[in-house]
Amino acid sequence: MAEQMKCVRFLGGSKVAVCDVPVPQCGPDEAVVRIAISAICGSELPSLRNGMRGSRYPNPGHEMAGVVETAGATCRVRVGQRVGIQVMNGCGQCRHCAQGDLEHCVSGVDVLSGAHCEYVLAPETCLVPLPDDLDWEPAVLLCGDTLGTPFRALSRLGDAHGGQSAAIFGCGPIGLGALIWLKFYGANVIVSEPNAYRRELAARLGADVVLDPGREDVVDRVREETGGGADICLDCSESQRTLLDALDAAGIHGRVAWIGEKPAATVSPSGQVIRKELTMVGSWYFTVSDFYEQLALYRRGLSVSGLITHRFKITEAQEAYDLFAAGASGKVVFRHDIPG
């Protein structure tokens, strides 16, 4: 293994650099993973704009898969094994960790980062063995936020099925992942998205109705299309407006999920929730067991084709981030030249 590796650094002002940094060394219960593929997430954009001062890692990338390069003496993975990396890590002893729900560890969760490098150091508890016949691109989608977080939301809502109506508010990568799941389950899906590129992409991925919230009242249109309100509404945006739209567009006994992060919003509980008797859940991340459920459904025919729209080498990081930040893409990945 080389002593130096290439790694993306955020400089602030939406500028990035690709630097040579030391390859990490693993402890007894850790492994160094040679990254085959990593994906850009929208949660990276604030650090792209502001820089990564004081961070333990040179970049905040957190969706990745690769091959174990070296493993510590007590680490149960083997060198050469293909793995995805689930980035939430807890104490391993509390009741949430015992249930595989590491992101809610009572001692506080440690979020692994630094995906956009040639090698990543990961604790054994974050390594998810991948089957040999799973290609890298579906692997990083199934192991990452794009599919995992909306899958968890729909699982907690009780899934969806044919004949139901659903509305997605915000169709960045998470919203597009939600669309993939809803169409797999057979729902009729309405998408509200201000970005023209992503509206077109949503239509290509199977959305039945695509709305521009800058040109029409999307709540009225959802009610019109569904005969009074959608069975399922998914808010996949950081905007307060989309959270309110999801509540207002849900029908009687509707189900609403807020996916990702939502810093603040003002809700009118009586009119938006109580009188309609809505069911609501939040979805922040997903678990390893969620990954294996997704993998089983992928083997039954879930198509992820079209979610990844652009592929770059790590040396092309500035171009990749410029494209993603402009909203001119679906999922963007960095591919490394390793077999498998």
- The model's pLDDT over 137-155, given as tens digits with 9 standing for 90+, comes to 999 999 999 999 999 999 9
- pLDDT for the residue numbered 339: 64
Residue 189 near residue 206 (C-beta atoms within 8 A): yes
CB atoms within 10 A of CB 107: 12
Q: Do 16 and 136 belong together in one domain? A: yes
- What is the predicted pLDDT for the residue at 307? 98
Question: Of the residues 265, 283, 301, which one is the last residue of a structural domain?
Answer: 283
Tell me, what DSSP letter sits at residue 194? S
Residue-wise pLDDT for 96-106, tens only, equals 988 888 889 99
β-bridge partners, 145: none
Asked if residue 340 belongs to a domain, the reply is no
| Whether 150 and 125 share a structural domain | no
pTM above 0.85, yes or no: yes
Per-residue pLDDT band at 260 (split at 50, 70, 90)? confident
Name residue 38's beta-bridge partners: 64, 334
Alpha-carbon distance of 277 to 257, in angstroms, equals 14
**Which pLDDT belongs to residue 103?**
85
Same domain membership, residue 154 and residue 134: no
Q: So what's the pLDDT on residue 55? A: 53
3-state SS, 253-302, equals EEEEEEECCCCCCCCCHHHHHHCCCCEEEEECCCCHHHHHHHHHHHHCCC
Task: Give pLDDT, residue 53.
Answer: 66
What is the average per-residue pLDDT within 84-92? 90
Q: What is the largest CA-CA distance in the chain?
A: 62
Name the strands in the sheet holding 279-283, side by side, starting at the edge strand that comes first in the sequence.
Answer: 209-211, 188-192, 165-169, 230-235, 250-259, 279-283
The pLDDT score that the predictor gives to residue 72 is: 95
What range defines the domain where residue 246 resides? 146-283
Mean predicted lDDT score pLDDT of the chain = 93
Across the range 51-59, mean pLDDT stands at: 59
Q: Grade residue 111 by pLDDT with cuts at 50, 70 and 90.
A: confident
SS (H, E, C) 127-193: EEECCCCCCHHHHHHHCCHHHHHHHHHHHHHCCCCCCCEEEEECCCHHHHHHHHHHHHHCCEEEEEC
Most confident of the following: 9-18, 219-228, 256-265: 219-228
Question: In this structure, how many other beta carbons lie within 10 angstroms of the beta carbon of residue 155?
Answer: 16
pLDDT in tens, 277-310: 999 999 989 999 999 999 999 999 999 999 999 9
State CA 285 to chain mean position distance. 8
Instruction: Please tell me whether residues 131 and 185 are part of one structural domain.
Output: no
**300, exposed or middle or buried, with CB in 10 Å at 0-12, 13-18, 19+?**
exposed
Helix axis angle, 288-299 to 145-157, nearest 10°: 90
Q: Give me the pLDDT at residue 183, please.
A: 97
pLDDT of res. 206? 97
pLDDT at position 340, please? 60
Categorize the per-residue pLDDT at 28 as very low, low, confident or very high, splitting at 50, 70 and 90: very high
| Residues 175 and 291 grouped into a single domain | no
Indicate if 223 and 292 belong to the same structural domain: no
Number of domains in the chain: 2
What CATH number should be reported for the domain holding residue 200? 3.40.50.720
- Res 107 pLDDT > 80: yes
Distance, in Å, from the CA atom of 251 to the CA atom of 253, rounded to the nearest integer, reads: 6
What number is the average pLDDT over the span 273-278? Answer: 97
Residue 1 has pLDDT above 80, yes or no: no
Judge if 29 and 134 occupy the same domain. yes
Same structural domain, 67 and 190:
no
Q: What percent of the chain has pLDDT over 90?
A: 79
21 vs 6: CA distance, rounded Å: 6
**What are all long-range contacts of 26-30, with beta carbons under 8 Å and residues at least 24 apart?**
26/70, 26/71, 26/72, 26/75, 26/121, 27/72, 28/72, 28/73, 28/74, 28/75, 29/72, 29/74, 29/75, 29/123, 29/124, 30/71, 30/72, 30/75, 30/121, 30/122, 30/123, 30/124
Contact call for residues 48 and 325 (beta carbons, < 8 A):
yes
Which are the contacts of 131, defined by CB distance < 8 A and separation ≥ 6? 82, 295
238 and 297: one domain?
Answer: no
Select from 153, 147, 192, 163 the least CA-distant residue to 297: 147
Residue 159: pLDDT band with limits 50, 70, 90: confident
Domain end marker among 261, 283, 305 = 283
Give the pairing type, strands 230-235 and 127-129.
unpaired
Considering the domain boundaries, does residue 196 fall inside one? yes
54 and 186 co-located in one domain: no
Give the model's pLDDT for residue 54: 52
Question: What integer is the mean pLDDT of 231-252?
Answer: 95
